[in-house]
Amino acid sequence: MQPIHARKLNKTLRQLDADYYRRAESFLGQYEKLLSESGNTLDYAIECYLKFIAHINAESLRFRETGEYSSKSFAEVNRRVYDNPEVMEYHIQALLLSQFLWRHHYEMFCFFRKELTARRDGVRNYLEIGGGHGLQVAEALTILRPESKCTVVDISPTSLNLARRLVADTRVNFTLSDIFDYRPGIKYDFITMGEVLEHLEDPKALLKCVSRLLADDGVLFVTTPTNAPTIDHIFLFRSAEEIRNLVCDSGFAIVSEFSRYAEEVSEEVAERLKITLLYGACLVKSDCQNAC
């Protein structure tokens, strides 16, 4: 059990509005159906979530002691996590639940919906990199025009399998591939890359790669956290300013952004205690926009 975490969740849930509960109830019904089809119950998902929280707590203790993430290379994480179905299964189930249990995740999801909705008429080809559990592409399907084409690229078979079951829509092309090896032969009008940059040794190389996949007038929606130790995070961003500098140095300009701390504390306290900040932004190629 996690009594401290339970108190945090209870406090968060009391603060959210009716729209949140409407969406959460709809998601829960869909999620329980998905679990049942796999021979599981909500109790199984809760066990996955508690295991995930226990591992985050352990990683957080190491982070406070060393100031570094414990994972150092993508090859190591790929072997230990992404290519390990037993680990990846509980990991991805917990991440899916976190979209509604963690306020900073839910509010970033709302930011994604708002930004994609504002651009829906110009999106013919939509790409999601590291689609994970599939919640964002499922939402994209409700926003985009019926003729829009959607693709999800992920390196984890476990993630893709969960996303396929959650979405269950033939309009989505699910592709198992390292994004550096992906050659679609087309450009995308909107690319979503949620919490991927921190999973590589060189996030600038990834942004350069993604730039080649983005249409000249396209939009890249990207999120990444600061000070967020978990079993598969490699690159440590210490502040939102570091993230802004990276995206601008990689040939992008920021057109909108949103950020929220993982804890309900002042900015001063959050910076002193190195509380996780989830940062998200819509980016365009910098030759299409003034400097950041």
Summarised one tens digit per residue, pLDDT across range 41-93 is: 999 999 999 999 999 999 999 999 999 999 999 999 999 999 999 999 999 99
Residue 184 buriedness (CB in 10 A; 0-12 / 13-18 / 19+): middle
What would the mean pLDDT of 200-207 be, rounded to a whole number? 97
Amino acid identity for residue 193 in this structure: M
Amino acid identity for residue 53 in this structure: I
Using alpha carbons only, give the angle 92, 162, 106 rounded to the nearest 5 degrees.
Answer: 55
Going from N- to C-terminal start, the domains of the chain cover 1-292
What are the structure tokens assigned to 166, written together?
């959650």
**Over the Cα atoms of the chain, what is R_g?**
18
Among candidates 47, 60, 55, 45, which has minimal Cα distance to 1? 47
Summarised one tens digit per residue, pLDDT across range 122-162 is: 999 999 999 888 999 999 999 999 999 999 999 999 999 99
As assigned by CATH, the class of the 1-292 domain is alpha beta
Task: Note the pLDDT of residue 131.
Answer: 82
Among candidates 153, 118, 151, 117, which has minimal Cα distance to 132? 153
* 199 vs 108: CA distance, rounded Å: 19
